[in-house]
Structure 1
């Protein structure tokens, strides 16, 4: 997604112009557009034209319309978004108040105006527009003296850093210069990883090389992490996966990602964090039920006690046409973060999101047991969700 302009006032009203560039961006757009928003985009309208002789014919014309959104339809298979509403701006082809359906397309910009841009919507735009937020897979493709540090999204690879160092050849009787240069090279690659990989997002880091370069580099990096107490590397050690590549050039990444053994290990990295969080929740519900709550009322009560460690919530709840209901969930998300908790947003298109929706769409793993909920709160959440 490309952010073209952003004009938001102090009262949180305003408009943002975006251009979807890949199929996944249409899913983000579906989660951004809400009923009563104002949407401006280029569209095709069938109009009747009267000729000088009086005969009437119809023609299809391209025009730019601004509509007040009434219905939103997302086709997950075709990744197509249709938005229907009434025209709210003067147009030579469409009367004020007339209905029109706009089909949002890839590589065609649109402007979305809202009376209130809340934190959840703005965060989604930030994630959609920044490759580092989308890229839950990173890769270091290397050979002696050359390394490429990349972020990999579902549809593109973003080169974040290139490390190039001259490595002298080994000479008989002395390898000192070679070893020093190699160590300097490994240090530069390690610093590049620390600087350019967001481990809060990245679930796996492929380290690929011909020969034993990958093993030697990983040994160096983990040894240095222990010596220097580099917690970022130590805490994420399990995310590093060593694989073979034919060279250290960027194009070698394609062969790495198409390797069937690698594909199997990387299956569904995007939702790995969410799947684990849901699995942890079910285990907690079974073993320590006082530390696993679900349903908006129970989770809000736990949050009031500052007990929520991880909030699990589906994006479907934020597509509610009920503004008060949506604001309730936004307030919960903001409050959990303000209290130092972690928020896991689940996609309702993923199996983990479907499972969470069966538990009302909102659940929480607590820092400590909270058992003093009254019997009145122990009612079904169906009426409030």
Structure 2
């Protein structure tokens, strides 16, 4: 690599929760609009911005009391096709809870078919694995890729077989889930790569990290004492107490498996990027903002691109992370995709520079 190339920054666009089907019903193209704004600017004055790769933290689907279907998959493929200055393969995705398939269906068939990070269903998804600038290693549920000394560990949300009742035959149960195999893979990757700057990606943050990620913080009680929708909808038998964080690991509820590991190995994971809980950039419910540090790990909530899914709190926004070679500082900017909360474009009040324990290098 030339000296000039080695000195250029890496710009990572983090977004999620496009809920394409929901916004489409209201005449809005949540994913396509955001892509076009990033490449060419927005119709309300928001500037374009350069990015090298993008991280999609899941919930492409807007399925709520139903399951994702091929019609929505085709719409997502169509909206991805507005990319002009980037490749489809510049976007790396994980499966969110609304992207899940039902218990009676092949697991995550819809997400694997239409989002398809491994490029195994190119005819439907348009993803060509050989076109990845940074190749993937793994399987749909868990995979990794490297950029310089950054190691990305990508973990998808999935069905929890012990839970038989939830949303849409468990197509989108609120509490976050990973399998025991994925957790073991994650631990092994973390322990076997001590020199890497490790960035974990999942649809959910961990418990008590970012805004509204505490127990019972995803839903709230009304004046008459009844639980009601807030950030998430209330499903009595759908682990509503853990609706805002990664709740199930290896079939165990509220397992704290990741939290305990990070507590025992502080700073080994430098960053955790997620979404799921949609809200405005100034929200600090539960005493937690969108960007917080615990166990030496920076947690970043990048949600959401949708405007109409979970409408009580939803606001279209995303994050741009800039890694500068030779520096441990990472600039995290917030981009507002509409002018609902503030003028479309960069929102300086939400900008933050986070410090890693070692510098980025190509």
Whether the TM-score (by the shorter chain) exceeds 0.5 is no
Answer 1 or 2: which has greater strand percent. 1
**Please, what TM-score do these two structures have when normalized by structure 2?**
0.27
Greater C-alpha radius of gyration: 1
